[in-house]
A = this chain, B = another copy of it.
């Protein structure tokens, strides 16, 4: 196990009706709120009206930024910062999924920064003071509700970049699984794939002696595999929605990554697909993952893949380890199909002639330290296999 600093200060109000605590939470930090959200779904489920009534009853004033995109854009961040500055906003409240939360994080950091907020995306060290961030989660996927990360896109330059800062960790998040009852099948599936991909990025790693992190990751994966399909078939199954929601936070809040380190690879590859084509992040991840696994399987990595097969998929441990690994990869691909996620890049509108340039932009010198080291040519081959 490697050294680490555990720091997960976000308070999580988990469960039915926790919205009743929102006004009290906000008032710890201020009385002037920016509500940041995406489309109209929070109005459809009555959440918006309930919040607004709550604010009026508690003398909390608010302004809004809505229409935050699925891959939130830097222009939207700029607009949010302006609204905050014009209205002396004290607290940024994100209501929605990871996109709204990510956008809110960079808005909250940008209010206290004099330059253009794109600087904070390309250079996280420039982030300093950040307005207090509170979130109400309505989609289980990115884990942004309990960590320091944000991903922002500049479609003009085909850039989708992740930034992070300790001060961007939300002060508190309300996780009411009932808010995800209305999430459509497609997004439930993509969210489940996103959660699983975060777990894979942390799990496929060579650090020894991380039994606790590994067994926790395996349990989270089994929860996704069990409850993802249930949530699609029975959208109001509370335990299914609750396990997916809590898994989304654990997958990427540090619990399974503390004590080991290696660069993530599937996410950076997918970011290029989304940056060029604005596809759903979880879908891109699900398409790439089995091909990345097949590419990564070799004499050095086979033991971890076999561990994955035995502990996550229950494959007979007496089989040959390469056989276990291959069955596990097949099962992973089959599972994403069962979630009705497209399994090729061409199905989601990606063009073959763009594979080279996307691979070039995805490439990162740190990939030589990956679980299975990879170069630009390897990325092209994974893209082609997934095409």
Contacts and interface: CB of A to CB of B under 8 A. Distances in A.
Contact count band on A:
35 or more
Contact of A3 (B16, B214, B218, B250): B16
Interface string A229-244: 0000000001100110
Interface stretch (A5-13, A83-91, A372-380): A5-13
A212 B223 contact: yes
A258 interface: yes
Given A3-B15, A239-B1, A215 B222 contact: yes
Contact of A212 (B8, B214, B243): B243
Contacts of A215: 215-216, 218-220, 222-223
For this chain, the copies found in one complex come to: 2
B1 A18 contact: no
Contacts of A16: 3
A208 B239 contact: yes
Given A4-B14, A5-B13, A11-B5, A247 B212 contact: yes
Contact of A14 (B12, B216, B239, B258): B258
A114 interface: no
Interface of A: 1-18, 208-209, 211-212, 214-216, 218-220, 222-223, 226-227, 238-239, 242-243, 246-247, 250, 255, 258-259
28 contacts: A1-B14, A1-B239, A1-B242, A1-B246, A2-B15, A3-B14, A3-B15, A3-B18, A4-B14, A4-B15, A5-B11, A5-B14, A6-B10, A6-B11, A14-B258, A14-B259, A208-B239, A211-B243, A212-B220, A212-B243, A212-B246, A212-B247, A214-B219, A215-B215, A216-B219, A219-B219, A242-B259, A255-B255
